[in-house]
A = this chain, B = another copy of it.
Amino acid sequence: MDNRTFGDRLAERIADLGPLCVGVDPSREMLASWERDDDVYGLEFFALAMLEAAMGHAAALKPQVAYFERFGSAGYAVLERVISEGRDAGLMVIADAKRGDIGSTNDGYAEAWFAPRSPLRADALTVSPYLGLSAMSSLVDSAVATGSGLFVVVASSNEEGRVVQSARTATDEKVEDYLLRQIATLNEKADHLGAVGAVVGATRDRPRFDLSMLHGPYLVPGVGAQGASPDDVGKLFERCPKGSVLVNVSRAISGAGPESRALRDAVRRWRDDLSAVLP
Once A128-B98, A167-B169 are accepted as A-B contacts, the answer to whether A112 and B161 lie under 8 Å apart by CB is no
Q: Which residue among A104, A132, A153, A165 has the maximum number of chain B CB atoms within 10 Å of its CB?
A: A104
For this chain, the copies found in one complex come to: 2
A134 at the interface (CB under 8 A from B): yes
Chain B residues within 8 Å of A175, by CB? 163-164, 167
Q: Is the CB of B164 within 8 A of A105?
A: no
Which residues of B sit under 8 angstroms from A156, Cβ to Cβ? Answer: 102, 130-132
- Given the complex, which residues of B lie within 8 Å of A134, measured CB to CB? 160, 163
Q: How far is the CA of A135 from the CA of B157 in the complex (A)?
A: 11
Would B161 and A98 count as touching, CB distance under 8 A?
no
B130 touches A164 (CB 8 A): yes
User: Does A28 belong to the interface (CB within 8 Å)?
Assistant: yes
Asked whether any CB of chain B lies closer than 8 Å to the CB of A74, the reply is: yes
**Which among B105, B153, B166 is the interface contact of A170 at CB below 8 angstroms?**
B166
- With A and B bound together, what is the CA distance between A101 and B27 in angstroms? 14
User: Chain B nearest CB: distance from A145 CB in Å?
Assistant: 16
Q: How far is the CB of A146 from chain B (nearest CB, A)?
A: 15
A158 within 8 A of B: yes
Interface size class of A (residues with CB under 8 A): 35 or more
A69 touches B (CB below 8 Å): yes
Chain B nearest Cβ from A128, distance in angstroms: 5
Q: Which residue of B lies closest to A154 (CB)?
A: B130
In the complex, whether A77 has a CB less than 8 A from a CB of chain B is yes
Whether the Cβ atoms of A69 and B132 lie closer than 8 Å is no
Q: Which residue of B lies closest to A163 (CB)?
A: B169
Q: Which of A76, A167, A169 has the most CB of B within 10 A?
A: A167
The reply on A36 being an interface residue by CB < 8 A is no
B residues near A77, Cβ cutoff 8 Å: 72-73
A183: B residues at CB distance < 8 A: none
* Interface presence of A99 (CB below 8 A): yes
Find out whether the CB atom of B158 lies under 8 angstroms from the CB atom of A131. yes
| A108 adjacent to B69 (CB under 8 Å) | yes
The reply to whether A168 and B168 contact each other, CB–CB distance below 8 Å, is yes
Q: Which residues of B contact A169 (CB under 8 A)?
A: 163-164, 166-167
- Of the A-B pairs whose beta carbons lie under 8 Å apart in the complex, a sample of 11, sorted by A's number, is A25-B104, A28-B107, A66-B112, A69-B108, A98-B131, A100-B128, A128-B128, A129-B164, A130-B130, A134-B163, A135-B158
The 4 A-B pairs of least Cβ separation, nearest first, read A132-B160, A72-B119, A66-B108, A167-B167
17 additional A-B residue pairs with CB within 8 Å, beyond A69-B112, A135-B160: A27-B104, A64-B105, A66-B106, A70-B111, A70-B115, A72-B112, A72-B120, A73-B76, A76-B76, A130-B156, A130-B161, A131-B160, A132-B161, A163-B170, A166-B169, A167-B169, A167-B175
